[in-house]
Amino acid sequence: MNLIRENQKKQEEISTAFAMETHESQPLETLVDIREYDVPYLVRTCMDLNIRAGAWYTVTPTTHSVELTEMDAVTKANPKVLAFDIECTKAPLKFPDANVDSIFMISYMVNGQGYLILSRSVVGE
């Protein structure tokens, strides 16, 4: 066991010496591994397999996996963007209550075109 510990210590010393020598000239050489702890598994898988959002794929099951074939670029999906905001009455510093409060305005945008819906009974003219 002592021999193993001595060899491990020598290896650490050699690694440290190598890191110090190459630190100034080639700092990236001292990296052992890069880990992406903050990237979700689904996102990392899509990046690794070159699966892109907005593209159409033909999915063919195989024995132990699936085969993805990207379809012609002409048939790519045309994404639509929808954003909305709903304003309602409420008591100060409280969340709205559906039994008491009413919606007085809904605004929404679809692909850059905005719309506004008002409740004249609440907002007034």
Which residue ranges make up each domain of the chain?
1-33, 35-78, 82-123
Q: What is the structure's pLDDT at 52?
A: 83
Q: What is the structure's pLDDT at 17?
A: 63
DSSP H stretches of helix in 74-124: 120-123
Kindly indicate the confidence band of residue 86, based on its pLDDT and cuts at 50, 70 and 90.
very high
pLDDT at 114 over 80: yes
Q: For residue 32, what are its two tokens? A: 């052992």
Q: For residue 51, what are its two tokens? A: 């699966």
Task: For tokens 């290896």, name the residue.
Answer: 11
Across 8-17, 59-68, 114-123, least confident range = 8-17
- Going by C-alpha positions, the residue among 95, 102, 106 that lies closest to residue 121 is 102
**φ, ψ of residue 110 in degrees (nearest 5):** -130, 115
Q: What is the structure's pLDDT at 115?
A: 94
Q: For residue 72, what are its two tokens? A: 């012609």
| 34-84 per-position pLDDT tens digit | 677 778 888 888 888 888 887 888 889 999 888 888 877 665 667 788 999
**Rounded Cα–Cα distance for residues 16 and 26 (Å):** 14
pLDDT at 96 over 60: yes
Average pLDDT over residues 89-109: 91
Instruction: Report percent pLDDT > 90 for the chain.
Output: 18
